[in-house]
Amino acid sequence: MLNNWLNARAAKQFHESHEGQTRILLRRLLDVSKQDDPFKGTESEFFLSMASAMFQSAYGYHIQGHDDPFFKGAKEAIEHLFNAHMYTNFWVNIFPALSYVPDWFHGTGWKRTAREWRKQKEWTMNSTLQWTKDQVTAGSAEPSILGALLDHKLTSKWTQEDKEYRLKELGMILYSGGTDTSANVLVKFVAAMVLNPKVQAKAQQEIDTVLGPLKLPKVEDEERLPYVRNLVMETLRSHPVLPIAVPHVCYEDDVYRGYDIPKGTVLIGNIWAMSRDESIYKDPEVFDPDRFLDPKVPPLSAFGWGRRKCPGVYYGQAAVFTSIASLLATFNLTKKLDSNGREIIPEIEDGSNSMTLYVPQHPIERISSNQVSKPVV
């Protein structure tokens, strides 16, 4: 269903939204750069920017800031979703039979937590879709995916109840798949630039040479900025957002390297191992965008593969490229200093009980203006 709005051609309709949200992000980062710990604020602004773009695309709704009730509700729902999927958070994930234990039994507090989280998620899904429905009814709705699906041939054969349910879930899928992951890429980009200042300088030089001092990058400039494009691919390779891919299911009996894999087996791709395959990526621990100058070196499948490949791959690529290119065009990213004036080297580590990699809260000293003549405002 989403292919109608998110395929390579259709995704172009969202480019203007990406560019507009990126400019808002740059303005907000100017304020963040004045804070004592700019990275913490930067990470938060990345998430808000990606969420704003997705809400506009999915619902036609403009998030009003960090305290926006729809934004806060969706963010909380996604946090609950990720926590619920971590096996070690709840014993029932390991022993499904525990779901049949009565609520009054000792140790079943997780059931109450699940009900509270479900109630919060339902409020978020109901309120956001209802807002879009109200706008459509009033004739004041902006173009959006869910707004279009309310009266579309793809949903015409569904019952009203079924349509409501599916569109609510679709909205949550769009938000969860297009916000946290994209924001996480930007966090990894910041760490990579702090660790590789020569790469940062080379990318900035390309932008200044190709676009000049008075123009911010757009999605359409990607072909003219090959080094920046390769830098984005190298960020996705060197620091994959999901080191372990989302689960797939084997749809027929198979044999892999002598191992019998029965139909129905859950398979999880090791993206981290793929990103470190020295037969494909020479010196994999080195951050080198130029490796992709060799046409034999493929980009990492950061968006998955097969039938469950992320349907928003073109949407996500455009959002990430626009953000990274614009950040390079307007800001310098430098290391934080300790109390003795020595540089702190940031590390990208496994998050505690997390599906993603994370960056500690203190990798940069400042985010300073690179080109004050750029039309950020």
- Among residues 293, 315, 328, the alpha carbon closest in space to that of 217 is found at 328
Question: How many CA atoms does the CB half-sphere of 234 hold within 13 Å?
Answer: 27
Strand 254-256 and strand 331-335: pairing?
unpaired
Contact 27, 48 (CB under 8 A): no
Rounded-to-integer distance, Cα 369 and Cα 355, Å? 33
| Distance of alpha carbon 347 from the chain centroid | 20
Binding-site positions: 310
Residue (of 330, 341, 337) closest to 36 by Cα position: 337
Residue 5 · residue 145 · CB < 8 Å: yes
DSSP helix/strand/coil, 314: helix
Residue 332 has phi, psi (to 5 degrees) of -105, 140
- Which two three-digit tokens encode residue 174? 């769009």
Please, which residues bridge with residue 332 across strands?
A: 368
CA-wise closest residue to 243 among 267, 277, 275: 275
DSSP string, 45-109: HHHHHHHHHHHHHHHS----STT-HHHHHHHHHHHHHHHHH-GGG-GGGT-GGGGGS-TTSTT-H
Please give the distance of CA 146 from its chain centroid, rounded to a whole number: 20
Q: Which residues contribute to the annotated binding site for heme? A: 310
Give the C-alpha separation, 260 to 150, whole Å: 45
